[in-house]
Amino acid sequence: MTERLPSSVDVVHLRTSEVSVLVDVSERRLPAILHWGAPLGDLDPLQAATLATSTVSHRTPNDMDVPLRPDVLGAQHTGWTGRPGLVGDRNGTAWSPRFQVTGVALEPAGSGAVITLAGLVTVGPALLQVTAEDREAGLRLVVELQLTPSGLLRGRATLTNAADEPYRLQELGLVLPIPGHAREILDFAGRWTKERVPQRARLDVGTHLREGRKGRTGADAAHVLSVGETGFGFADGEVWGVHLGFSGNHRVWAERLHNGRQVLGGSELLLPGEMVLAAGQTYCSPWLYGAYGQGLDDQASRFHAWTRARPQHPSRPRPVTLNVWEAVYFDHRLDRLTELADRAAAIGVERFVLDDGWFGARRDDSAGLGDWVVSPDVWPDGLGPLVDHVRMLGMEFGLWFEPEMVNPDSDVARAHPEWVMGPRGRWPLEARRQQVLNLGIPEAYEHVRNQMVALLEEYPIGYIKWDHNRDLIEAGTRPDGRPGVHAQTLAAYRLMAELKERFPGLEIESCSSGGARVDLGVLEHADRVWASDCIDPLERQQIHRWTQQLIPAELMGAHVASRRSHTTGRMHSLHFRAGTALWGHLGIEWDLTEATDEESAELAQWVAFHREHRDLLHSGRLVRLDAPDPALQVHGVVGVGGAEALFAVVAVDTPDTDPVGRIRFRGLDPDRVYHVRDVTPGPDPHGLRRPPWWPGREGATLSGRVLQTMGVHAPGLDPETLRILHLDAGSEARDETEEVAQR
């Protein structure tokens, strides 16, 4: 229930057990964050007032005569000389508005109490909403700051043009302060088939700006832009990070000013003239998510817990999936596909997905895209025979679409060339022999929607693999060629939402040339993301490791690859391929008709193992260890309450020493006693060297305190092999954990 706060309130303290956010709302000014980080405990009004004063630094020579109080908008009238959150004008005026607050309201999460005492409001997780206006500039503003139960701080701003003349908006975002001892940047780069490559730098005076101008999140996106104490790792060091929940053009930044002030910020990147607000028109920025933690695992846990608490988060077990792309490509033959389905069902697969090539004139990637009608040449009896066979085997049926794209050689492009996005009078350069279909045009949107609806009504399709294979370059909209990326992104969201509302239970995967649309905006509508078109397990070890800095394992598609990787040419054992894919939303991307009987039997063991443990894999807290040698990577999940855990010990390279040293398993309950077993399915890999303590199949017993503090010697592993350990504190502990989770 929303509670309007009296004007006498100066400071609002939003808190969880692990995070505090202290917000100054005094003197009818826009909110300023005094503290975002570690919990402050119980504050009284005197302490809050003192803290508000203590954030104001002394005056320096040749600076403003009034102490600097930067607000979350980065307003220039406060003396802020960093990047502003609001940039816009009304024909050269109203470019530096001075908003006056007209109301402050709180909406606690659940039934949390709001305690007001002498100008200080203390509340648990809650949404703080501040309304303001500048009558002279003709602008109204709403700022929302929300501390979620998981400890995420998220915010957005909404701007309304309250004047008769248009207002040209160039940018609207938020800036969040971070302390001066956070001086090391971690963000990500990447490219097609090598997404989420970590990179570190020092935050010195200036701006570290990451922009995405591709009309989609991008394989090279910053993903999560973090700044922390020098040398921060998975377990140690305070770290603050931001992620913009938007799938179109965007920017995030870290900035340090001459006066030592530091901020993280983010906004949608609006192209010239893309957002001109007419009288009464409103623009709402995407949510900017801020995650504070003691180490990167703590930060990731805030994102994961928030994601899992959403009402739309997948609640049923994630079906093991077979996608046929690397098995058949465009060679769609009913007999071959039904044989694939038979083999998939026999090893425990639960979902069968028919990929690109089933529609229009789509015999290769040069034609047919945008004509979402089953090809009578390839499927003379329609998709019914395949769908019926798949469902008879007890599997769900999924289908590939690329709704936002079009081949120039297609019926829809020939009939409606004006639906192709581009600047005025011409089409942009082609990429992957395709262009972008402008879903911002109502008729184009209806055309795509109606064709998809017709198929979803005709066949029991439970899953859509939603691809997006082209950057939005020169993405204008007819007839004047104005930029249309913003409208296109919202139209894609709207189409996903409309289909899911019309077909309850429908699931959508966000695929975009692999992992180029992985963000919390698209995950408002999608049920998983495809992390990369590269399924080489060695590359996937890194991709999985860092994709999970933002999203939990159950939302990350991870498939067992072919013997020889189709993107890198490397060959890997089934042991390493399956043991890598196990830790996400498991699937298979391999021509199973080529598998030997021994391989099929081993793969069935891995599928059964995943199905047995997926409740833990898809609900546990992520733990990544800072291993003694970078050639050895150790990661796992610990269940709620610490009663059960799974860890993978992975050799990604040849270590400098053999043995490499001890592994200390973090995240366990020190007071529990764990039965530790090597539960890796299949035969032992070549070169496995077990130390004397290694439990083998019979198991060993050690306390959580010993496992965390002293640790145990790692096994000797050849490169590109792994072992999986199951840590179990007993059935009574598991029952207790389940009760805690249910509560």
Q: Return the HEC string of 609-637.
A: HHHHHHHHHCCCEEEEECCCCCCEEEEEE
d(CA 146, CA 149): 10
Q: What type of residue sits at position 624?
A: R
Which 8-state DSSP code applies to residue 304? H
- Interacting residues of 264 by C-beta distance below 8 A, sequence separation 6+: 175, 176, 178, 225, 227, 240, 241, 242, 252, 253, 254, 255, 290
Question: Per this entry, what is the length of the chain?
Answer: 743
C-alpha 520, offset from chain centre: 5
C-alpha angle 660-666-671 in degrees, rounded to nearest 5: 125
- Contact predicate 30/46, CB 8 Å: no
466 labeled binding residue = yes
Catalytic residue check, 42: no
388 labeled binding residue = no
206, 321, 194: which is closest to 256 by C-alpha? 206
For the residues of 298-316, what is the DSSP string, one character each? HHHHHHHHHHHHSTTS--S
Secondary structure percentages of the chain, helix, strand, coil, to 5: 25, 30, 45
356 labeled binding residue = yes
What is the number of other CB atoms lying within 10 angstroms of the CB of residue 199?
11
Place of tokens 């040293």: 661
Catalytic residue check, 629: no
- Interacting residues of 415 by C-beta distance below 8 A, sequence separation 6+: none
533 labeled binding residue = yes
d(CA 368, CA 373): 10
613 labeled binding residue = no
511 labeled binding residue = yes
355 labeled binding residue = yes
Catalytic residue chosen out of the listed positions 471, 533, 536, 669: 533
77 labeled binding residue = no
- Helices marked H in 509-594 — which ranges? 537-547, 574-581
323 labeled binding residue = no
C-alpha angle 437-442-443 in degrees, rounded to nearest 5: 75
Helix (H, G, I), strand (E, B) or coil at 114: strand
Catalytic residue chosen out of the listed positions 71, 187, 298, 467: 467
- Contact predicate 139/92, CB 8 Å: no
82, 105, 586: which is closest to 321 by C-alpha? 586
249 labeled binding residue = no
- H/E stretch holding 199 reads strand 194-202
What is the number of other CB atoms lying within 10 angstroms of the CB of residue 61?
4
Q: What does the CA dihedral 695, 697, 700, 701 come to, rounded to 10 degrees?
A: 140
407 labeled binding residue = no
- Contact predicate 216/475, CB 8 Å: no
Known binding residues for substrate: 192, 355-356, 432, 465-469, 511, 533
Known binding residues: 192, 355-356, 432, 465-469, 511, 533
Catalytic residues: 467, 533
